[in-house]
Chain A
Amino acid sequence: GAGVSQSPSNKVTEKGKDVELRCDPISGHTALYWYRQSLGQGLEFLIYFQGNSAPDKSGLPSDRFSAERTGGSVSTLTIQRTQQEDSAVYLCASSSTVNEKLFFGSGTQLSVL
């Protein structure tokens, strides 16, 4: 696609529910990243994909968080048993390959009530 697409743009959920966030990177981009931005804060790295593999998952905050990427394209970030501290904007970014110019999507605003 023309840009990095994320869905949904907003998600409101109840504490304890599972959520899935989707990222569709720029076509042909092999590197894909997930970041999290809490209100008024910086960008916190979560996970990095090269193709379908995730060489670096070091930023995932707990085992409630998982992510996968299929077909070297779409990625899904899943948060199980959501907690209020999970509320944040979840940002996806892609680049043609590692260490190239990074392009961000518009993010998913997650609110856990």
Chain B
Amino acid sequence: GIQVEQSPPDLILQEGANSTLRCNFSDSVNNLQWFHQNPWGQLINLFYIPSGTKQNGRLSATTVATERYSLLYISSSQTTDSGVYFCGGSNYKLTFGKGTLLTVNP
């Protein structure tokens, strides 16, 4: 099956800083999504992005399908951005990476 690697595993930022999270896939996928799991455990879908670039407020994501990776950009981070960010890819079911634990300090 598909292997998904996320980096970095942990990231600590000061409020206002920018960051880039990366997701690498072992094989091509036609379905790639980014999620934020908040401190209460709820998973929120941030992007459905099998290819190309999308932006939503301070967040943007880029997937380069031919090179089997995706990037999530967080600009002007806020304490509410804290949590675990997961990417998942598949051809019908999402296989997830182990996540990036982001802590944004005030």
**A-to-B contact residues, CB < 8 Å:** 33, 41-43, 45, 48, 56, 89, 91, 93, 98-104, 106-107
Contacts and interface: CB of A to CB of B under 8 A. Distances in A.
Contacts of A91: 43
The dominant DSSP class at the B interface is strand
Interface stretch (B14-22, B64-72, B95-103): B95-103
17 contacts: A33-B93, A42-B97, A45-B93, A45-B95, A48-B93, A56-B92, A89-B41, A91-B43, A98-B92, A101-B33, A101-B45, A102-B33, A104-B35, A104-B42, A104-B44, A104-B45, A106-B42
B45 A42 contact: no
Nearest to B97: A42
A93 B45 CA distance: 11
